[in-house]
């Protein structure tokens, strides 16, 4: 936010914001979106941006501030964040792009924009209670026994069934009925 001083009083002359930025602001994690001054330290600190031209966190934040809702929600960009929080550690304005992208993902997920790998992983977790039930074979059980570890992992899948009903199926039903 740019400010000027008039007769000793600080007055805001420009607050870059948009309806979409206000929407993001209301979602857990998105609160600080309008504090961004677009300095770019997030992109400069980002290992993903350093490894590929396809990802630019500052530009994503800019698009949210500018209100490019559909472009942001349908893009893979927010899902490319590693959530490593290096940008958050360095941001001098207290903005966490990692948190903002999680908020954007939450909104995108509500509207059905979810990359396939995320969809599949969530489906697995909500069915089995954990990620690697199918990967856990006799071979690994033997490894564990050889190491003196308990081969029985005691993972619970009943609780996630409740979460699926409460937080995921309800949403799906709402989507299908168009509400």
Partner 1 sequence: MDMLLYRGCTTPVRLPAYEAATIAVLEKLGVNVIELKDTNCCGAQYVESMDRMAFASMSGRILALAEREEKDILAICGACSGSLKTNKHFLDHDIRARDEVNSLLAEEGLKYSGKVRVRHLLQVLAEDIGFDKIERAVVKPYNGIKMAAHYGCHVTRPYEIVHVDDPENPTILDRLVEAVGGQAVDYPGKTRCCGGPMLAMDEDVATTIGLDKIDNVTKAGADGIVTACVFCDIQLTQVQFGGGTSDRQKIPVLPITQFLGPALGLDEDMLGVELNKIDPHSVIDCCGVSQ
Q: Report the interface residues with partner 1, using CB under 8 A.
A: 28-29, 47-48, 50-52, 54, 76, 79-80, 82-86, 88-89, 96, 102, 105-106, 109, 114-115, 117-118, 121-122, 125-126, 129-132, 135-136, 140, 143-144, 147-150, 153-160, 162-163, 166-168
Q: How far is the CB of 10 from partner 1 (least distance, A)?
A: 27
Torsion of CA 68, 70, 73, 75, to 10 degrees: -90
Q: Six-digit token pair at 32?
A: 């600080």
Measured from the CB atom, the residue of 8 and 148 that comes closer to partner 1 is: 148
Buried (b) or exposed (e) across 48-77, using 16+ Cβ within 10 A? ebeeeeebbbbebbebbbebebeebbebeb
Is 56 or 105 the residue whose CB approaches partner 1 more closely? Answer: 105
CB of 117 to partner 1, least distance (A): 4
Closest approach of Cβ 124 to partner 1, in Å?
A: 8
Q: For partner 1, which is the closer residue by CB, 40 or 129?
A: 129
Least distance in angstroms from the C-beta of 6 to partner 1: 36
Q: Kindly calculate the radius of gyration of the chain based on its CA atoms and give it in whole angstroms.
A: 21
The least CB distance from residue 81 to partner 1, in Å, is 9
Q: Which long-range contacts (CB under 8 A, 24 or more apart) does 121-127 make?
A: 122/168, 125/160, 126/160, 126/161, 126/163, 126/164, 126/168, 127/157, 127/160, 127/164
């003196």: which residue's tokens?
148
CA–CA separation, 157 and 175 (whole Å): 26
Which residue lies nearer to partner 1 by CB, 3 or 83?
83
Smaller CB separation from partner 1, 3 or 52: 52
């Amino acid at each position: 936010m740019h400010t000027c001083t008039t007769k000793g009083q600080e007055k805001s002359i420009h607050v870059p914001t948009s309806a979409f930025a206000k929407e993001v602001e209301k979602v857990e994690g998105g609160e600080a979106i309008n504090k961004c001054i677009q300095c770019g330290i997030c992109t400069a600190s980002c290992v993903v941006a350093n490894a590929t031209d396809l990802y630019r966190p500052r530009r994503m934040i800019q698009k949210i501030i500018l209100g490019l809702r559909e472009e942001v929600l349908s893009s893979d960009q927010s899902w490319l964040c590693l959530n490593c929080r290096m940008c958050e550690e360095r941001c001098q304005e207290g903005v966490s792009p990692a948190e903002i992208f999680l908020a954007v993902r939450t909104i995108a997920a509500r509207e059905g924009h979810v990359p396939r790998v995320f969809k599949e992983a969530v489906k697995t977790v909500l069915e089995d209670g954990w990620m690697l039930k199918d990967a856990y074979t006799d071979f690994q059980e033997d490894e564990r026994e050889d190491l003196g570890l308990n081969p029985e992992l005691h993972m619970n899948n009943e609780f996630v069934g409740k979460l699926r009903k409460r937080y995921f199926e309800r949403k799906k039903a709402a989507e299908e009925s168009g509400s």
